Structure 1
Amino acid sequence: MPARLGRPDVIAQAHARSLDIGLRASETPDFQPLRRLALRELVERNQSLYTHALPVMETLHAQIVDTQSMVLLTDDHGVILHSLGDSDFVEKANRVALCPGVSWAEADRGTNAIGTALVDAQPTVVHADEHFLHANRILTCSCAPIADPFGRTIGALDVSGDTRGFHKHTLALVRMSAQMIENHLFSNQFADAIRVHFHAHAEFIGTLFEGLAAFAPDGTFLAANRSALFQFGKPLAGLQRQPFDALFGVPFAQLLQQIARAPGESIVLTLPSGVRVVARGDYAAPRYVALAEDFAGTSRVPLCGGPRHAPRAAEPAPLATLETLDTGDAQVAAILRRVAKLRGRDIPILVLGKTGTGKEWLARAIHHDSPRRAAPFVAVNCASLPDTLIEAELFGYEDGAFTGAKKRGSVGKIVQADGGTLFLDEIGDMPLAQQVRLMRVLQERTVVPLGGTRALPVDLRIVCATHRNLRAMIEAGTFREDLYYRINGLVVTLPALRERTDLAALITRMLALQPDGERLPRRVSATVLERFAQCRWPGNLRQLANVLRTASIMAEGAQEIDVEDLPDDFWQDCIDAAADAIAQAQPADADNDDDRRSAAHASAHETPARMEDWQAALIAQTLARLDGNVSAAARELGLSRNTVYRYLRRGGTTH
């Protein structure tokens, strides 16, 4: 019997409900499907769900073909609206009334995946004799509820089949398919809204896993999909009445400006938790063009008047070598020298460092400067894959290993990297079960795909990276000690950007990588370089690259990037950097940390050597945009109101 999905009592509770209703396990109720006209009317009442679910159902059915199973769509009461199934299973399904027009609500069928998932509003597996009715125990079923953009359950997606075809990964396929339907419904519901696509990892923008949030033209929050709610860490009700800047850390006007000036380009935003995400805004309604232009000051161009365009394909990663990574910082140069000594040797390397410090760049450079350079470099981000999928992603699976993978096996990332280099980013986030399997691969240099019996030999080099303290995780029992000593043949720690001395060289290198043919500047002004040196750069190299990209677009046609081209959130990091430095100098017996922080913020804005040449203009711009509202301006800038009032009393200066 399969383990329950995090709630061991779900079946027992469902059986108790079935008994309370008065059902008997041995009975065979008379389930008459709806008449054709009534079923047609029911489908029409659920037309949006039905329309958006059909193509997803067809894709899911193509994955489970020849596995004696079927895909089912129901309404919110558990009545089957549509089904797609293998011909050799349809007869068996008909014997238990698994067909359109029949209700599979718990009240009618007792404990079953469809009815129980709808009652609990959670993805559910009900296998074999876990069904309440004896007649249904020939089935294994995996079901996920489908919610509309406002969080209301409107139906369910289910895969039901012969018990012999059970596989624990089937539910993962169903859940992803249900989420795909929800995203289609979201895009359709808010086709005329301003939408933000976001994720902590840029490669997930435009995929099933991206967060989606919709806003009205004035910045009022409308709705968010499941991924967005997960990233915000709040339920939908907790996000209502939240202004855009409270959710993403920048004024709504900045997003509109970005959309108008550089449609399709990304921007870095900050969630309330402090997590930085890569985001892309879009609006489908032509009437928003003028709105965006008002904020951006651009000429009138038909940004969205025609058909929607697919997102631009990701540009290939720039060539990284050990030589190109040496831009003058002594710490980095020492790391590169140590790594270079292992050239041609398959000693594993563990790269430590904060998020965004360039761990993947170093891994690519190690691969390029090795005899394996002609073979694949395969990168896997262990933190970005759900626990239910990382095993299949890494180790691959044989035909039929999933209910949903017949004739569609996958070799997995490890086999893909055969002959080359496998880069496991954020290995500290790998689940323990997969750590055991990875350890076996490293010991035996073979991999057995899920559902397979034959071990495939692999020849690869392993480079791992993490921002976590693996030794502390070993003590806590969340990381295997034997795996740790397998992956740390050489350990190097990349410094944070604020600790490096090669900032000017890094900027030059990054700007030189911008696409040819675009009239983008290749240098920054001396003032910008000075401000960059004062920033704390919490996002490290990744943040620097994003700031330069955005600023380059703002300065398109100019010879260099100047202060006015820099995005607003960069200035906030400068303010925070100065405040942090001054806070450290406050007396230790200050009333509390908040008071020290507030005083530091005010002091940061009163320190002529750091801020006076740009912060007065920033305060003035913010006050003008907020119609002179001092409290709102202070809140947005992270200042005390006294600092803003001091600016006003002194005629527009803060010192």
Structure 2
Amino acid sequence: MTDRSAMPPTFGRPDVIAQAHARSLEIGLRASETPDFHPLRRPALRELVDRNQSLYTHALPVMETLHAQIVDTQSMVLLTDNHGVILHSLGDSDFVEKANRVALCPGVSWAEADRGTNAIGTALVDGQPTVVHAEEHFLHANRILTCSCAPIVDPFGRTIGALDVSGDTRGFHKHTLALVRMSAQMIENHLFSNQFVDAIRVHFHARAEFIGTLFEGLAAFAPDGTFLSANRSALFQFGQPLGDLQRQPFEALFGLCFEKLLQQFARAPGESVVLTLPSGVRVVARGEFAAPRYIAAADELVSPSRAPLSGGARHPARAAEPAPLATLETLDTGDAQMAAILRRVARLRGRDIPVLVLGKTGTGKEWLARAIHHDSPRRAAPFIALNCASLPDTLIEAELFGYEDGAFTGAKKRGSVGKIVQADGGTLFLDEIGDMPLAQQVRLMRVLQERTVVPLGGTRAIPVDLRIVCATHRNLRAMIEAGTFREDLYYRINGLVVTLPALRERTDLRALVTRMLTLQPDGERLPRRVSDAVLERFGQCRWPGNLRQLANVLRTASIMAEGAEQIELDDLPEDFLHDCVDAATDASVASLMAAEGPVVPAVRPAASGCDEVVHAAPPAQEQPAPGRMEDWQATLIAQTLARLGGNVSAAARELGLARNTVYRYLRRGRTTH
């Protein structure tokens, strides 16, 4: 079979389309033919998916990310096998019906022999990324489409499938193929890491900042230094096809003895070294080692009566969860922003899609994570939380992944199973994941990909089944650009992203106060409400500590007012009262400034080219009259856009609205200003 992986990309060329049309005519197809509406029956399709299980499993999360980038463009993402049969599709609801009219659905073959010239079939024939636009399709029926497709190769350079974005010709964008190519390469890298999990892998690139990104070269070697394979980027950097590389010793590829490189990697794990490619180009490289996976470990974890894991650590007993303090229902206390977030999260009930919760410190990220766990089929299993910012870098690894007896100085005897294994069957909540060191990010990425964990000092890979919820107050996209957070991990944890509002932005302060007071211990004679004067004072506070600060203030005030029916101003902590006075003063100054003219917030570019940033009109300074829902919604949208720098996609996600709704507001605002 021809090795396509090292060939340069050629796409959009007229001769490619002309040759494909010639092949369609030779096959005997007629341009006026009606597409076949007889896909594989469900059992046959299920069997086909099973035969392509590795491709299917590694492609799904990438497809979801790709679809999120092109949502609302009247298009769909498609995965096919190596013969062009569609295995899975994700599409905009308003485009699916049109796609079905041309049999663009799972179980249908889009090979050139069946559909003539089209992006999927032609890309698989040529082995190259391909765009087929409108009239370039051979069949007239398919000329309503514009399709961008990239083949997917396995770690040995064999074409095993294709990733495609097909959509309405009117929505064609020249950057779509680039997104498809990058997504296909991401799938290939996932397959590569999975195939060579037991190998020694060298990550390299001429520019150090590209290590750990999609563009890094990956080369896998056996323990004796025998070359096994390399990904597309590595083949490009070597400038040689895979077959030629397999005949060369390690020293010829990197200019260094394999044993010396291993010694350097072992002496300083995670450190970079400089190597020289056969072309003379110097590259920065890092090594990665992984312990072998033992399937038998799964059997040892099933029954505690069997032999314990090395070091004596056994699978932890299931501990009953205490009565939940937060469920999706109880978190809905009347604020429109929170209600929209909870509706979105509720749609994932029963599905193990990862959730990334953003928000300032104290906004209730762990409450939401516990609610997600409680309202899921995993509620009877453990909810395990770890704050990545609360532990030194040296302890996070041991706390998260566990360790064997004697793994390091000071380790407990009999070892520790770690938070990941403790969460087996349940939910793992990683708070402040933006503070996780890069080295641990790499290990966590491996766990999420392989669903196994190897404790420090151990050799057995322990299978785990868990759902992950992460939270952070940091800007992870900015951290990715700065090289302090891994992009591949980011796309693993952000299946659904929600941003919790700060307390000062919420409209349900009274309900929150009531709820927190009702959660106080019944055995204590503590008040269950606050006076109107206290509630008014609460409305004047900045609440920099958000819900956590509110809970602490109420707890202290309740103790001071023990035995009374309600909390009064005199019961509030003195320093808190000073903060409220300062906030009220600032608000008065802001009102005076507003009287002289509104301050238009500067609109910064989006961190990613995928989210459109618009310059929204400044929000009105006057509050809308009670009962005017359109004015209230317009003000809320304007404030959210201003706070998020004009990022329409982020604003729509946070408000739980369709992007078209935000755009309609913007168009309406421009016509009235």
Please, what TM-score do these two structures have when normalized by structure 1? 0.46
Please, what TM-score do these two structures have when normalized by structure 2? 0.44
